[in-house]
């Protein structure tokens, strides 16, 4: 007489987490808070740009709009430097992960908008 064993009673093996999945998790943790702040900076840059467009259309000037754009560009520049410095201590997989690259692109987009705002106001970035 042959007995059949129930293989399902064995404890299932856990899959080994891939290096790419681990890098993705590390990258997500690395950029999470920064991306939240980037969202705020992006909203502020849109607001300042809209204000600049309205001023230009009305033929008016408001130095506080330029000052706000310059300040925001400076903050962005400092934070980008910190971000890049932080990446130096990460593995290549994490530093080149799509989440990290998306964060870089967000920095670039906000910076481009702020530079366009300053150009619209007839000014130039004081920080790069």
pLDDT along the chain (128 residues), means of 10: 56 69 86 95 98 96 96 97 94 91 96 97 80
In a domain, 13, yes or no: no
In a domain, 9, yes or no: no
pLDDT at 108 (0 to 100): 97
User: How many helices (H) and strands (E) are present in the chain, helices listed first?
Assistant: 4, 0
Q: What is the tally of structural domains in the chain?
A: 1
Q: Is the pTM of this model over 0.75?
A: yes
In a domain, 97, yes or no: yes
In a domain, 56, yes or no: yes
Domain span at residue 66? 21-120
**Within 13 Å, how many C-alpha atoms sit on residue 64's CB side?**
2
pLDDT at 24 (0 to 100): 84
pLDDT at 23 (0 to 100): 84
In a domain, 35, yes or no: yes
């Amino acid at each position: 007489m042959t007995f059949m064993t129930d293989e399902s009673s064995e404890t299932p093996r856990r899959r080994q987490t891939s290096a790419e999945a681990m890098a993705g998790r590390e990258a997500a943790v690395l950029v999470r808070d920064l991306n939240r702040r980037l969202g705020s900076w992006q909203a502020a840059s849109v607001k300042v740009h809209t204000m600049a467009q309205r001023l230009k259309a009305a033929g008016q000037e408001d130095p506080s709009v330029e000052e706000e754009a310059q300040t925001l560009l400076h903050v962005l520049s400092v934070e980008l430097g910190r971000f890049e410095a932080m990446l130096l201590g990460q593995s290549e997989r994490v530093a080149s992960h799509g989440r990290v690259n998306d964060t870089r692109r967000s920095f670039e987009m906000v910076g481009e908008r702020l530079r366009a705002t300053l150009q619209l106001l007839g000014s130039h970035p004081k920080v790069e």
